[in-house]
A and B are shown apart, each in its own frame.
Chain A
Amino acid sequence: MPLIDSGKLVDDAWVRLGDDDALPAADVPVIVSLARFHKDRASLAGRNGGLGVWLASNQHPKDIADHLADFALVALDFPKFRDGRGFTIARELREHLGYRGVIRATGHTLPDQYLFLVRCGVTQVEIPEGRDPALWAHALTEIDTAYQVSVAGPLSMARLARHKTTEHAA
Chain B
Amino acid sequence: MSPTAAARQIDPPANGLPSHAGIYHYDQVDRDFLKQRVEQFRRQVARRLAGELTEDEFKPLRLMNGLYLQLHAYMLRVAVPYGVLTSRQVRQFGRIARQYDKGFGHFTTRQNLQFNWIKLVDVPAILDLLAEVDLHAIQTSGNCIRNVTSDQFAGVASDEVVDPRHYAEVLRQWSTLHPEFSFLPRKFKIAITGSSADRAAICIHDVGLIAKRDADGNVGFEVYVGGGLGRTPFIAKKLRDWLPEDQLIAYLEAVLRVYNAYGRRDNIYKARIKILVHELGIDAFRNEVEAEFARMPVAEYRLEPTIIDGIRARFASQPYEALEPISGVLARARLEDQAFNRWVRTNVAAHRQPGYAIATITLKPAGGIPGDVSADQMDAIADLADHYSFGEIRVTHEQNLVLAHVRQDDLPALWKALSAIGFGEANSGLITDIIACPGLDYCALANARSIPLAQRISERFADLDRQHHIGELKIKISGCINACGHHHVGHIGILGVDKKGVEAYQLTLGGSAAEVGAIGDIMGPALSADETVDAIESVVGVYLEQRQDGERFLDTLARIGHTPFKDKVYASH
Q: Does A161 contact B (CB under 8 A)?
A: yes
The reply to whether B182 and A161 form a contact with Cβ atoms under 8 Å apart is no
The reply to whether B36 and A160 form a contact with Cβ atoms under 8 Å apart is no
The reply to whether B179 and A87 form a contact with Cβ atoms under 8 Å apart is yes
Question: Complex: how many Å from CA A147 to CA B173?
Answer: 6
Q: A142-B36, A144-B36 are in contact. Are A95 and B297 (CB under 8 A)?
A: yes
The reply to whether B32 and A145 form a contact with Cβ atoms under 8 Å apart is yes
Q: Does B304 contact A (CB under 8 A)?
A: yes
Interface locus among A5-13, A30-38, A109-117: A109-117
B29: chain A residues at CB < 8 Å are: 145, 161-162
Q: Does B301 contact A (CB under 8 A)?
A: yes
The reply to whether A142 and B40 form a contact with Cβ atoms under 8 Å apart is yes
Q: Contacting A96 at CB < 8 Å: which of B39, B249, B295?
A: B295
A112: chain B residues at CB < 8 Å are: 40, 44, 61
Q: Does A148 contact B (CB under 8 A)?
A: yes
Q: Does A88 contact B (CB under 8 A)?
A: yes
Q: Does A81 contact B (CB under 8 A)?
A: yes
Question: Complex: how many Å from CA A111 to CA B304?
Answer: 34
Q: A88-B261, A113-B183, A142-B39 are in contact. Are A158 and B304 (CB under 8 A)?
A: yes
The reply to whether B179 and A119 form a contact with Cβ atoms under 8 Å apart is yes
The reply to whether B33 and A88 form a contact with Cβ atoms under 8 Å apart is no
A156: chain B residues at CB < 8 Å are: 299-302
> What's the tally of chain B residues with a CB closer than 8 Å to chain A?
48
- CB A146 to nearest CB in B, in angstroms, measures 8
Question: Complex: how many Å from CA A149 to CA B304?
Answer: 13
Q: Contacting B300 at CB < 8 Å: which of A147, A149, A161?
A: A149
Q: A112-B61, A119-B179 are in contact. Are A160 and B260 (CB under 8 A)?
A: no
The reply to whether B307 and A158 form a contact with Cβ atoms under 8 Å apart is yes
Q: A60-B261, A161-B30 are in contact. Are A84 and B182 (CB under 8 A)?
A: yes
Query: Which residues 295-332 in B have Cβ within 8 Å of A in the complex?
Result: 295-297, 299-304, 306-307, 310-311
Question: Complex: how many Å from CA A83 to CA B52?
Answer: 21
The reply to whether A145 and B301 form a contact with Cβ atoms under 8 Å apart is no
Question: Complex: how many Å from CA A149 to CA B303?
Answer: 11
The reply to whether B304 and A116 form a contact with Cβ atoms under 8 Å apart is no
The reply to whether B177 and A147 form a contact with Cβ atoms under 8 Å apart is yes
- CB A80 to nearest CB in B, in angstroms, measures 9
- CB A125 to nearest CB in B, in angstroms, measures 14
A115: chain B residues at CB < 8 Å are: 179
Q: Contacting A116 at CB < 8 Å: which of B30, B40, B182?
A: B182
Q: Does B265 contact A (CB under 8 A)?
A: yes
Q: Does A85 contact B (CB under 8 A)?
A: yes
For B171-215 the 0/1 string (1 means CB < 8 A from A) is: 001111111111111000000000000000000000000000000
- CB A114 to nearest CB in B, in angstroms, measures 10
The reply to whether B36 and A145 form a contact with Cβ atoms under 8 Å apart is yes
The reply to whether B173 and A160 form a contact with Cβ atoms under 8 Å apart is yes
- CB A140 to nearest CB in B, in angstroms, measures 12
Which of chain B's residues has its CB closest to A117's CB?
A: B179
Question: Complex: how many Å from CA A32 to CA B183?
Answer: 27
The reply to whether B307 and A159 form a contact with Cβ atoms under 8 Å apart is yes
Q: Contacting A82 at CB < 8 Å: which of B178, B179, B183?
A: B183
Q: Contacting A157 at CB < 8 Å: which of B43, B185, B257, B302?
A: B302
Question: Complex: how many Å from CA A65 to CA B177?
Answer: 29
Q: Does A104 contact B (CB under 8 A)?
A: no
The reply to whether A157 and B40 form a contact with Cβ atoms under 8 Å apart is no
B260: chain A residues at CB < 8 Å are: 84-85, 87-88
For B244-277 the 0/1 string (1 means CB < 8 A from A) is: 0000010000000100110001000000000000
Which of chain A's residues has its CB closest to B262's CB?
A: A85
The reply to whether A148 and B178 form a contact with Cβ atoms under 8 Å apart is yes
Q: A84-B183, A115-B179, A142-B39 are in contact. Are A160 and B174 (CB under 8 A)?
A: yes
A85: chain B residues at CB < 8 Å are: 260-261, 265
Q: Does B37 contact A (CB under 8 A)?
A: yes
Q: A110-B57, A160-B173, A161-B311 are in contact. Are A83 and B265 (CB under 8 A)?
A: yes
Q: A60-B261, A148-B174, A156-B300 are in contact. Are A91 and B180 (CB under 8 A)?
A: yes
Q: Contacting A84 at CB < 8 Å: which of B27, B52, B184?
A: B184
Q: Does A28 contact B (CB under 8 A)?
A: no
For A133-170 the 0/1 string (1 means CB < 8 A from B) is: 00000000011111111100001111111100000000
Q: Contacting A143 at CB < 8 Å: which of B37, B170, B307?
A: B37
Q: Does B422 contact A (CB under 8 A)?
A: no
B301: chain A residues at CB < 8 Å are: 149, 156-157
For B136-157 the 0/1 string (1 means CB < 8 A from A) is: 0000000100000000000000
The reply to whether A160 and B60 form a contact with Cβ atoms under 8 Å apart is no
For A74-113 the 0/1 string (1 means CB < 8 A from B) is: 0000000111110111011001100000000000001011
Question: Complex: how many Å from CA A88 to CA B177?
Answer: 15
The reply to whether B311 and A160 form a contact with Cβ atoms under 8 Å apart is yes
Which of chain B's residues has its CB closest to A57's CB?
A: B265
The reply to whether B310 and A159 form a contact with Cβ atoms under 8 Å apart is yes
Listed residue (B33, B179, B185, B260) with the most chain A CB atoms within 10 angstroms of its CB: B179
Which of chain A's residues has its CB closest to B295's CB?
A: A96
- CB B106 to nearest CB in A, in angstroms, measures 28
Q: Does A55 contact B (CB under 8 A)?
A: no
For A15-40 the 0/1 string (1 means CB < 8 A from B) is: 00000000000000000000000000
Given A96-B296, A146-B179, A156-B301, list of 10 further CB < 8 A pairs? A81-B60, A84-B185, A84-B260, A88-B261, A113-B183, A115-B179, A116-B179, A144-B36, A147-B177, A157-B174
Interface residues of A (CB under 8 A from B): 60, 81-85, 87-89, 91-92, 95-96, 110, 112-113, 115-117, 119-120, 132, 142-150, 155-162
Interface residues of B (CB under 8 A from A): 27, 29-30, 32-33, 36-37, 39-40, 43-44, 52, 57, 60-61, 143, 170, 173-185, 249, 257, 260-261, 265, 295-297, 299-304, 306-307, 310-311
4 nearest A-B pairs in the assembled complex, by CB-CB distance? A84-B183, A119-B179, A116-B179, A145-B33
- Give 23 A-B contacts (CB < 8 Å), ordered by A residue: A81-B60, A81-B183, A84-B181, A84-B182, A84-B183, A84-B184, A87-B179, A88-B180, A88-B261, A116-B177, A116-B180, A116-B182, A132-B52, A143-B33, A146-B179, A147-B173, A147-B174, A148-B178, A150-B179, A156-B299, A156-B300, A160-B170, A160-B310
